[in-house]
Amino acid sequence: MWGKNVVIVLGCILLAATVYAKEHPGKEQILKDGYQGPKTCEECHPGKAKEFLGTVHWKHASKVDHVDNLDPNEEHGMKNRIYTMCNGNDIVNNLKEVPPNALGKTKFTGCNTCHPGDHASDVGSTGPAAEQAIDCLICHSLKYDFSKRKAVKDSSGKVVMTQDRSTEAAANIGRPSVKNCMACHEAAGGGAMIKRGFSMAKDAEVHITKGIICVDCHQVKNHKFPTGRDPNNWAHDGIYMTCVGECHTIKPHSDPDYNRHTDKIACQTCHIPKTGGAFSKDFTKWEKQSNGFFEPSTLKREVNETAPVYAWYNLTVSNTPQFIGPKGSRTDGKSKIYPFKIFQGKAYYNKKDGKLMSMDFAPPIANGDSLAGVASAAKILGIKDYEPVPGWQTIYFGSNHQVTPKSKALRCANCHAVNGVLNLKELGYNPREIEKLTTPEIYFEKLLKQQQENE
């Protein structure tokens, strides 16, 4: 098994190395003719621009059928969701210039700043203009100059997002690198590694250490990305993925005792023992920064500083105004124990209907007035009958990245211990079962032998 894994890993590395070592065909043509946006790409990849417009990366939404209390006929995602990690969304926080703060400074902000269009063609837009607005190179160029991608006002005063469409960027294209993915994915939620709180640095993620990149696991088909099942990640391209596949089998350990756990314990539970980022935010209280702008007050930790919480998860999601998290139990025959980062956010609820309200960040960024943000969002969404009252929401974020080296994964004594990492009572075990599960009798001889071998 070990040998097989080595061969697979080496194969992935070789493949990645081959892809990057080899120049993308057509480079000479691009150098000769320059880059004219997606139409240059489409000379060799016809239909790809239109195809991309149908994906979650462009639409920021999809139909969702595994989350409670959502209309399955509507599309849901960061385009229109309201929750307390990001109390706004692409609609109410459409990229715009915030009003001047007390120092007279202003800036551009919006939830859709990461949208790979030019903002004139925005989230979910379609048609020829949208196809030509796609920023193909932000994902595909290894030499993208990010200083060329910024929000500016055009000659008519409309806020647009510029792109790096230089010949140099276009001549250095290939499969998206880790950097291409993380340029957007690490910046969500109000700063670097705030929302998800994981690092994909070489020294933090064992796959990256071995030269495996994001798209080696998220194997894209026609621009559709396979994803895992984070309870807080609703929109999807209709393709799901797990660790089990080309690289890992369902019984991946050389030790049969570990393999006996894989029916009930998700891989992440032992192999992602830490997470980080924000664990609480208060959108009703904005803190003034030294630059004169305000930010929602946020409690956060560095990556690897937060121990996850473990729960049964059957891959369906409970969604109420106060709670977003995993459904499942020991007894439903479908659930496994997964690790989660618990996040708790405070925002305004509408006393009239109990629903969580959204916030336009432009007013509070400028002057800290969160209720002005609620009023602006309500106006944008056409909500007239509301009475904002503060309240908390709890969200379970899936802990699916930053896989640790095998030597640092959880082992027998981490879970089978009194007050160990698993809260066995919360997981549905009775006192008698807990006593049986937490005796060193289970693992003592095995660990002693391993210890002797290592000494």
Partner 1 sequence: MKKILSIVMVLALAAFASFAAVTTASAEELKMTGTISKIELAADGKSATVVLKDTKTEASVTVIVSDELTLDKFKDKRIVEGDEIRTKYDSEGGKNSSKMFKKTAGC
Distance separating alpha carbons of residues 366 and 103, to the nearest angstrom: 10
CB-wise, 194 or 213, nearer to partner 1?
Answer: 194
- Rule CB under 8 A: choose which of 35, 83, 144, 225 binds partner 1: 144
Asked if 225 contacts 56 with a C-beta cutoff of 8 angstroms, the reply is yes
- Rule CB under 8 A: choose which of 120, 151, 187, 442 binds partner 1: 187
Q: Which of residues 268-297 bind partner 1 (CB under 8 A)?
A: 289-291
State the alpha helices, DSSP H only, in 37-127. Answer: 38-42, 48-52, 56-59
Please report whether residue 166 would count as binding partner 1 according to CB under 8 A: no
- Rule CB under 8 A: choose which of 33, 72, 146, 414 binds partner 1: 146
**Smallest distance, Å, CB 192 to partner 1?**
4
CB-wise, 137 or 265, nearer to partner 1?
Answer: 137
* Binding map of partner 1 across residues 194-233, x = CB under 8 A, - = no contact: x----x-xx-------------------------------
Please report whether residue 147 would count as binding partner 1 according to CB under 8 A: yes
Region near partner 1 per CB under 8 A, out of 51-59, 186-194, 372-380, 397-405 = 186-194
- Rule CB under 8 A: choose which of 23, 33, 74, 145 binds partner 1: 145
Please report whether residue 412 would count as binding partner 1 according to CB under 8 A: no
Distance separating alpha carbons of residues 281 and 301, to the nearest angstrom: 12
Asked if 79 contacts 60 with a C-beta cutoff of 8 angstroms, the reply is yes
CB-wise, 83 or 313, nearer to partner 1?
Answer: 83
DSSP assignment letter at 224: B
What is the number of residues in the chain? Answer: 455
The token pair that represents 290 in the structure block = 């030294």
- Rule CB under 8 A: choose which of 5, 109, 280, 450 binds partner 1: 109
Residue 132's nearest CA partner among 62, 223, 48 is 48
Asked if 160 contacts 199 with a C-beta cutoff of 8 angstroms, the reply is no
Residue type, 41: C
**Smallest distance, Å, CB 394 to partner 1?**
22
Count of residues of this chain found to bind partner 1 when the rule CB under 8 A is applied:
31
Render the burial of 273-307: b for 16+ CB within 10 Å, e for the rest.
bbbbbbbbbbbbebeeeeeebbbbebebbebbebe
CB-wise, 118 or 131, nearer to partner 1?
Answer: 118
**Smallest distance, Å, CB 370 to partner 1?**
17
Residue type, 421: V
Region near partner 1 per CB under 8 A, out of 121-129, 141-149, 313-321, 379-387 = 141-149
Tokens 């417009």, residue located: 53
Please report whether residue 110 would count as binding partner 1 according to CB under 8 A: yes
Q: 184 Cβ partners below 8 Å, 6+ apart?
A: 114, 138
Please report whether residue 451 would count as binding partner 1 according to CB under 8 A: no
**Smallest distance, Å, CB 347 to partner 1?**
16
Distance separating alpha carbons of residues 196 and 215, to the nearest angstrom: 18
> Which strand (E) or helix (H) includes residue 6?
helix 2-21
Asked if 111 contacts 184 with a C-beta cutoff of 8 angstroms, the reply is no
Distance separating alpha carbons of residues 320 and 355, to the nearest angstrom: 9
CB-wise, 7 or 192, nearer to partner 1?
Answer: 192
Render the burial of 308-325: b for 16+ CB within 10 Å, e for the rest.
bbbbbbbbbbebebeebb
Please report whether residue 117 would count as binding partner 1 according to CB under 8 A: no
- Rule CB under 8 A: choose which of 36, 106, 113, 166 binds partner 1: 113
- Rule CB under 8 A: choose which of 176, 189, 321, 364 binds partner 1: 189
CB-wise, 248 or 301, nearer to partner 1?
Answer: 301
Phi, psi for residue 62 in degrees, rounded to 5 = -160, 170
Q: Which of residues 78-107 bind partner 1 (CB under 8 A)?
A: 86, 93, 107
Please report whether residue 380 would count as binding partner 1 according to CB under 8 A: no
Tokens 């994803």, residue located: 227
Binding residues for partner 1 (CB under 8 A): 86, 93, 107, 109-111, 113-114, 143-148, 179, 183, 187-194, 199, 201-202, 289-291, 302
